[in-house]
Every structure is written in C-alpha cells, then in structure tokens.
Structure 1
C-alpha cells in the first residue's frame, strides 16, 4: 500500500516506521530536517512539504499539531486532498474538536476521499512499538480502506460507529483525564518535595498504591531523571484542554478540574517551558514556591 504520513514527530515517526516494517511504501512529510533524517536512517523516504507528496497515495495519515495544520496540509496551498484518487482514505490522527473532525470529513467527501476520525492514545512509546489505541469513527468503507494502516500501527482499534466526530469526542474525554492526571502528579510531587520526602521514594510507593495513574507511571520516571526532552509537550495540553473547555462551554457544562489543570499548563507555557515534556507541570510549583525539581534537568 502506498501511504503518506504527514508529521514525523514523536507519534508520526513511530507510525511511519511500523508501516515501513509492514512492507508498505511510505513517504513522510516533515519540515524539520531532524525528523526526515530519523526516518531516512531507518530506510524511509521523506519530503519537507506536503506539496512534494505524490498524488497517487492510497492512504494519508495525519499527525500534525492541531486542526488548523490539518486543514492546511489537506486543503491549503499544495494540499494533498485535491490530488488523491477517489476512494483513498485519510486517517485524521490529530486531536481536534468533534466539530473540526466533522468539517474535515465533509470537505474530503467533496473530493471523493474517505476519512477515518482516528485520534490515537499510547504515547510515543506506543507509536514506536506499534501498539497504539486508535479511537476511530467512520464509514465501513473508510474502516476497510484504512485497515492495512491500522493493522501496522495499532494494538487496539475502537470502532465508535459511522459518524465522524465520535472518535474525537472520546479522545477529548481522554485528554481531559490525562491533563488532570498530569497536573495532579506535579502538585503531588511538589507537595512531597516541600514536605521533605524523597521523590524516588514517593514514586516507588505511590506506583504500588491507589494514587497511581497511567500518566503517573509513564511520566514519573522522566520527572525523576530530570529528562524534559519533549515526547508530548506542555503546549499539547494547552491545546487539548482548550478543546475540552471550548466544547464544554458550547454545551453549557462546568468543568472546574479541567479548567484548573488548563491554567497550570498555561502557567508553565507562559514561563517559557511550553515546548518541554508534559511530565514537568511541577514547574508551576517550582516557580510559585521555589521548590527544587527532582532529578538533574536536561535541556536536550
């Protein structure tokens, strides 16, 4: 299968590599030379802009940052959508609002292109291992066309029915929980440090206790090591929790915990660390109360 992967960041690179391992013909798109080089090192081919993608692709996997970027690579200048053959499928793996997913599906339909609303969960490690959970919705034809891609990148595929937007709705709820858990982890470690507890002891004990979460277990070791090289950046949750709160506002639905967590991510981003790893929400308390960070911080 001839597949284009747009975005060779933490998630897209892993997906592209697993597609390559599954013997698909894969062309990546990544403006950063480092991302293209990382793919090329493993035998992949990559270009710097979507305008350089060939049009005869059977599937396009979109791993960009937000809805605006997704719309640009699909429909903007040099966008791939008008050049795809009828019956090709776009897997929209970017976390976007349900309304944006529905709109993109509708616009693709005008070109005769199928879309799977298919945000993912599992992090960079899951992407590299080919064990992502894909939270997908779309027509039977879209699922069928996307199956070879899904088989290569995912361990679990959640079929949420035929309507675009359903996948993005469930991913939105996931991101609400993930963001709150990350903010809570930072608060918990900050309190422990201020009270004199050893951060490693905190992690070891809580990992085996009721207070643990998937985010705590996954991100805690990075925090302890001072390893803030971004796999998923603080700015991602500024965006994702913004989607959550915008949708809640449209539904006249209160989300006090999500709103508080969003403010913590915003504060860390405002302090200049928005591009660092999202394990470091503790920087809010570092700057507020002057506590030391666990581990020796690494800047690369």
Structure 2
C-alpha cells in the first residue's frame, strides 16, 4: 500500500470515527474535527490529531473527508461562517460521505469547482464495525483526477470500492437505491419476527432458520439479532433510514418512478420516529411493530 497521505476527517461520530480509527490502525495520522470534543478525543486516543482550526485542513492535507449527517451540515462545514471552502486550494479533494440527495451532491461539487476544488461523491454502507475493519462499501462518483489522487486513501478505507461514474451525484443515487432496499428489507425482517412471536415461535431459532434460507438479508440478521437481545443502543439511529428512504422516494419522484414497497417502508420509519424512537437504533423497529396497537 502507498505511503499514507495527509488527510482530514470532519465529523467523527459513529462512521467518521470508525473511519479515522481504521486509518490510524494502518499507520495514517489523520487530522480530525467535530463539534463534539469528546468524539475528537475518542479518536485521538488511536493516534489521530485534533484539528482545533477547521481551516487548517486546507494546509495540512490534500483531501478532506466530510462525514456529517446531512446536506445542511455539509454545507455548513464547507460554506457556513468559518467554513472550510474558502481556504481550500485548487486541486484539494473534498470527499462527501453523508447520504444526501443527488442534486445536493451535484450543487456542492459545482460550487467547490468554481475555485478548482475537486469533489468525490462517496457515500458509504456497512456500519461502524465494517468501517473500522475496512470492509464497508464506498460508492464513489467524481472526476478521474480526484479518484486517482485519493485511490490509496479510498483503498485504505474500503475493500469494497466502486467507482460509479465521473459525475458527482451518481454516488448519492446509488446509495439511495441501496438504502431504500435496506429499509424495505429491515421492515420485512421486523414484520416477520413480530409475526413469529405472535405464532408462538422462538424468535432466535426462527432467525437461525431464516439466515440459512431464502429469507436471509444482511440488515435483517444484523438488526434482528440486536433487537431480540434487547440491544437498541444506536449504531444507526432510526432517523437515518427515515431520512434516507424519504430521499430515495424524492429521487424516484423526480424521474417519474413509483414503486409498491418503498413508500410503505418509508412511512413506517417516519411513524417510528414520531412515536419517540428517534434516539434508538433502527433495530427498534421490531419493538415498534410488537406494540399492541401495531399488532392488533
């Protein structure tokens, strides 16, 4: 593997923190920044360097990974008061890892391009554990020059690396298609586990069967194992799939597509958030479906 490049990670929560830990484990020394100082200290412990001044990323690195929650936070980091963008030199690469709308990715890339800054639209999939071990997926869209410059970094972060196209926005489109299916699969898994309980079946044993049979899905197994164990500590907050499935429906609407399942899955995540589960892992969908009013 090539020698580590000087890079910065902005946003070191569940996924950004796991990515920074991955880089540290491979001998990189990333600069890190987050509005939550405790999250920064959590990755400094692994060898990262705290970035007190966000603008320092412009002079200390050739690439900046943005790993915040949504498009609004991304714009704030880049273009808000004290934002990063005015300090970035031509040729710097901004890597957008949040799940955002395709048009947002296109617009952000276009705005950065006015000063010669390159953009890789690079949403991720797989969760914090896979990010730490480097086995998450990265769906990358952006110009060949940015891809080639950052390839050692991208390969360090992901063993499942896809160059979707040269057009920022296509990474977001791919991620939304994936996450809509993830949402549909998770709703299906939670529904059948709730049904198994009502039928008097042992949920663990039922899931054992499903995992070796035609009903298996990665997200179903991952989330239902935790849900059955009562482990709802948030790795992926309920709000994320509520947001992502709605973004996917918005993208579908823009091209005149209407499918039979996505709208129902999205509505269920929205209902779970409205019912007060926004702070829990999306595995809590099982508990939500097992509530009397849902099962009645």
Q: Secondary structure at the match of 2:234?
A: coil
Say whether the 8 Å CA contact 1:14–1:130 is kept in structure 2: no
The correspondence for 2:226, drawn from 219, 222, 227, is 222
Which 10-residue stretch deviates more, 32-41 or 209-218?
Answer: 32-41
Other-structure match for 1:258 = 262
Structure 2 partner of 1:204: 208
The question of whether the paired residues in 2 share the 8 Å contact of 1:137 and 1:161 is answered with: yes
* CA–CA distance in structure 2, aligned partners of residues 33 and 226 of structure 1: 30
- Residue 140 (structure 1) shift: 0.9
Counterpart Cα distance in 2 of 1:59 and 1:9: 19
Matched with 1:66 is 70
Structure 1 match to 2:137: 133
**Among candidates 260, 270, 273, match of residue 269 of structure 1:** 273
Q: What is the CA-CA distance between 1:287 and the residue it aligns to?
A: 2.7
User: What whole-Å deviation, never above 9, does each CA across 1:205-260 have from its counterpart, x for those lacking one?
Assistant: 11111111111122222112111111111100111011011112222211231111
Q: Deviations over 1:171-213 (max 9, x none)?
A: 1100110000111111111111112111111111111111111
The answer on whether the counterparts of 1:58 and 1:89 sit within 8 Å (CA) in structure 2 is: yes
2:30 aligns to what SS in structure 1?
strand
In structure 2, relative to structure 1, the CA distance for the partners of 1:53 and 1:287 (3 Å cut) is farther
Please, what is the CA RMSD of the aligned residues? 1.7
1:112-167 CA-partner distances (Å, limit 9, x unpaired): 11111111112111101012211111111110122122021110211112111111
Aligned to 1:244: 248
CA separation in 2, counterparts of 1:25 and 1:124?
19
For residues 2 and 84 of structure 1, the distance between their equivalents in structure 2, rounded to whole angstroms, comes to 14
- The C-alpha deviation readout for 1:263-293, integer Å capped at 9, x for no partner, is 11111111111121111212332334477xx
| TM norm structure 2 | 0.93
Which deviates more, 19-28 or 152-161? 19-28
Tell me, what secondary structure is at the counterpart of 1:148? Answer: helix
Q: Do the aligned residues in 1 keep the contact of 2:71 with 2:104 (CA within 8 Å)?
A: yes
1:163 aligns with 2:171: no
Give CA deviations for 1:15-55 in whole Å, capped at 9, x if unaligned.
1112223333311112223312211221222347x746442
Contact 2:30 2:48 in 1 (8 A): yes
Q: 1:232 aligns with which of 233, 236, 244?
A: 236
Q: Which residue of 2 aligns with 1:181?
A: 185
Normalization by structure 1: what TM-score? 0.92
Unaligned runs of 5+ in 1: 292-300
Aligned length: 290
SS of corresponding position for 1:106: helix
SS at match of 2:16: helix
Partner residue, 1:213: 217
Aligned mate of 2:34, from 30, 35, 53:
30
- Say whether 1:46 aligns with 2:47: no
8 Å CA contact 1:122, 1:132 repeated in 2: yes
